[in-house]
Amino acid sequence: MTAPHDRRRLLTGMAAAAAAGVLSPLSAAAALLPTPPQTEGPFYPLTLPLDSDNDLVRVAGQAVSAAGTIAHVGGRVLDANGRAVSGARVEIWQCDANGRYHHVDDDNAAEDAGFQGYGQTPTASDGGYRFRTIRPVAYPGRTPHIHFKISGNGFDSLTTQLYVAGEPRNARDGVLNRIDVTARDRVMVPFLPAPEIEANALKATFDIVLGDAG
């Protein structure tokens, strides 16, 4: 787990993130459009790491933080009628700055031991969630992305992926382009400078809509 002083810094930064709009609600126009599902891929953890909180940049027992550009990623989980989904489990996993997942079957590059690679957090009463991670990077065959899985009681689990808006590699990514062109914007997220949260960090808002309206 994150050290106490790091935890205080993280919570302060995340409070600033909420104030700065990282946890902004969905627009009314998009509220009933479900987030497109995507493949889980081969690198979901076989066993969960001992440190699996929502700060992926600091790993318990490691003196050095993760390489890469820190990004505060947050948003809300809503049902298709716009109601907040509280108590859902939000999981993310992604490769490190070298392009390697923390997975036994990935030997694509040297592993960054300072990057957690996987994190999880419950949604708050307003459906909000938040992570401190790194801006995703490309690796052979894939554009930068972060895997998401949302599960809980009363709804079908959703696995999807977040992509960086404006990333040139998006046009050539086969997984992304399996999504209908009319729905791709729902998984495209801009990563914007966020000095108000943390020096040299970025922020990204990814609101997730589950299922169909009923």
d(CA 162, CA 121): 17
- Going from the C-alpha of 155 to that of each of 78, 87, 128, 158, the distances in angstroms are 11, 12, 17, 9
Question: Which class for 5: exposed (0-12), middle (13-18), buried (19 or more C-beta within 10 A)?
Answer: exposed
pTM: 0.85
Q: Helix-strand-coil percent breakdown of the chain, rounded to 5?
A: 15, 25, 60
**What is the reported pLDDT for 171?**
97
Paired residues of 204 in beta bridges = 73
**What is the reported pLDDT for 107?**
81
DSSP letter for each residue of 32-99:
TSPPPP----TTS-SS--S--SSB-S--TT-SSPPSS-EEEEEEEEEETTS-B-TT-EEEEE---TTS
Q: Which domains does the chain have, with CATH numbers?
A: 4-210 (2.60.130.10)
Q: Six-digit token pair at 127? A: 């459906």
**What is the reported pLDDT for 25?**
47
- Of 9, 111, 1, the C-alpha closest to 66 is 111
pLDDT of 145 > 50? The answer is yes
Looking from the CA of 151 toward its CB, the CA atoms found within 13 Å total 5
pLDDT digits (tens, 9 = 90+) for 47-88: 777 778 999 999 988 889 999 999 999 999 999 999 999 999
Question: What is the mean predicted confidence (pLDDT) over 160-180?
Answer: 98
**What is the reported pLDDT for 94?**
97
**What is the reported pLDDT for 186?**
97
**What is the reported pLDDT for 35?**
97
